[in-house]
C-alpha cells in the first residue's frame, strides 16, 4: 500500500457514506412531503440547494470513476 491508494480508499468510504446519508435524507424529504405541506414548502425553498448537492454528488462520482480508471491503467 502506498499513500495514494490509502487516500483513495478513504475518499471512496467518505463518498459512500455521504451518498448513503444523502439518499436517506432525500427519501425522508419525499416521504414527508406527502404527509406534511410544510416539508413541501421547505423543499421548494431549498430546491436550488438540492440541485447544488446533486451536482456535487455527480462530481464526486465522476472523480471516483476517474480514480478507478487511473488505478486500472497503473
Q: What does the H/E/C string look like for 21-46?
A: HHHHHHHHHHHHHHHCHHHHHHHHHC
For 16, the grid coordinates are 459512500
pLDDT at 47: 64
Is pLDDT above 80 for 37?
no
Cα 21 vs. chain centroid, distance in angstroms? 8
Going by pLDDT thresholds of 50, 70 and 90, the confidence category of residue 43 is low
Q: Is the pLDDT of residue 13 over 80?
A: yes
- Output the pLDDT for position 26: 73
pTM: 0.35
User: What is the arithmetic mean of pLDDT over 53-60?
Assistant: 75
Amino acid at each position: 500500500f502506498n499513500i495514494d491508494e490509502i487516500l483513495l480508499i478513504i475518499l471512496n468510504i467518505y463518498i459512500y457514506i455521504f451518498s448513503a446519508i444523502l439518499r436517506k435524507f432525500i427519501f425522508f424529504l419525499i416521504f414527508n412531503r406527502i404527509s406534511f405541506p410544510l416539508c413541501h414548502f421547505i423543499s421548494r425553498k431549498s430546491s436550488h440547494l438540492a440541485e447544488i448537492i446533486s451536482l456535487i454528488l455527480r462530481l464526486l462520482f465522476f472523480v471516483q470513476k476517474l480514480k478507478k480508471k487511473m488505478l486500472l491503467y497503473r
